Amino acid sequence: MTVSTPAGTTRTVNLRNGLTITVQEYGDAAAGDGTGVLVLHGGAGPRSVAGFAAALSQHAYVVVPTHPGFDGTPRPESTDSVADLAVAYLDLIDELNLHAVMVAGSSVGGWIASEMGLRDNRGRISALVLLGATGIKPEPPLEIADPAKLGPVKTGELAFHKPELRLNPAALSEQQRAAMAANQRTLAVYAGDPYCHDPKLRGRLHRVTVPVLVLAGEQDGIVPLEYERALADSFPRATFRSIPEAGHFPHIEQPGSVFGAIGDFVDTEVKPEAN
């Protein structure tokens, strides 16, 4: 997958429990007056949401953490689950003193966002946006495809509707191959067994009280469209939107449609009083 990475400011943030998080920041934090967007990447790493985050920063202060262990960042042995990441990012929001935070998550990042919504006992989250998200148990015959088993060529075919966005393994350097393999190993630590879901999560999501937008690429071969509909049905305040001519990364393939859906969602569900 080839994704250009717009400029952002990178720094590390030390959390109270001793965990260090590498974050990229986009936009002006001061102009946001304490509000912002937290963007959570999936197994493809932070580059897969960089363009999305940069575009969002035209309207808000945006923070993109790198999950510990991805892209060569350190991962303490004690940080080994999606629940750990959810708590860490709630601590990150506290540390940055943000409120009314929209949490947007891609793939496994959407699962982390859902877990954050369950644990937000300080009311800092205003909404969730889930893009090709995982997290709940797929009901047969639905299943979540595992890139580690499929290999890069087949994964690209299932993940992207547009052939030109699919990864060309032959064009990768040995260093790039090693980095991808390391990211997959880290993903397996967080979400590997059972793969990319918690069998009990769906029964808990009724406790998420903020509005939720579930966006699904109509040609997503990694996470089926009907799975995303079931995910949306699990929340009490969810809006479901399918994105035509898009696979697992609708924010990359159809950014205009995705931002249009997010804008409508904000206007009607998040800040209806502003209209």
The domain that holds 98 is classified in CATH as 3.40.50.1820
Residue 1 lies in a domain: no
- Kindly report, residue by residue over 30-70, the tens digit of the pLDDT: 888 899 999 999 999 999 999 999 999 999 999 999 999 99
Asked if residue 275 is part of any domain, the answer here is no
Quick check: is 186 in a domain?
Answer: yes
**Among 103, 102, 106, 101, residue whose Cα is nearest residue 135:** 106
Domain count, the chain: 1
Name the residue type at position 257.
S
Flag whether 88 is in a domain: yes
Q: Can you give the pLDDT at residue 8?
A: 86
- Is 2 a domain residue? no
Look at residue 41 and tell me if it is in a domain: yes
- Where helices occur in 169-212 by DSSP H, the ranges are 174-191
pTM: 0.96
The residue segments making up the domain with residue 25 are: 9-270
In a domain, 262, yes or no: yes
Give the pLDDT of residue 222: 98
In terms of DSSP bridges, do strands 125-131 and 212-217 run parallel, antiparallel, or are they unpaired? parallel
CA atoms within 13 A on the CB side of 100: 9
Count of CA atoms in the C-beta half-sphere (13 A) of 269: 21
pLDDT computed for residue 192 by the predictor: 86
At how many degrees (to 10) do helices 174-191 and 108-119 cross?
40
Judge whether 4 lies within some domain.
no
10-residue stretch averages of pLDDT, the chain, 275 residues long: 61 94 94 93 96 96 98 96 98 97 98 98 97 97 94 95 93 92 96 94 98 98 98 98 98 98 96 67
* Alpha-carbon gap, residue 150 to 147, rounded angstroms: 5
pLDDT in tens, 158-179: 999 999 999 898 899 999 999 9
Burial of 248 (0-12, 13-18, 19+ CB in 10 A): buried
Residue 162 DSSP code: S
Question: How do strand 9-14 and strand 20-26 relate by DSSP bridges?
Answer: antiparallel
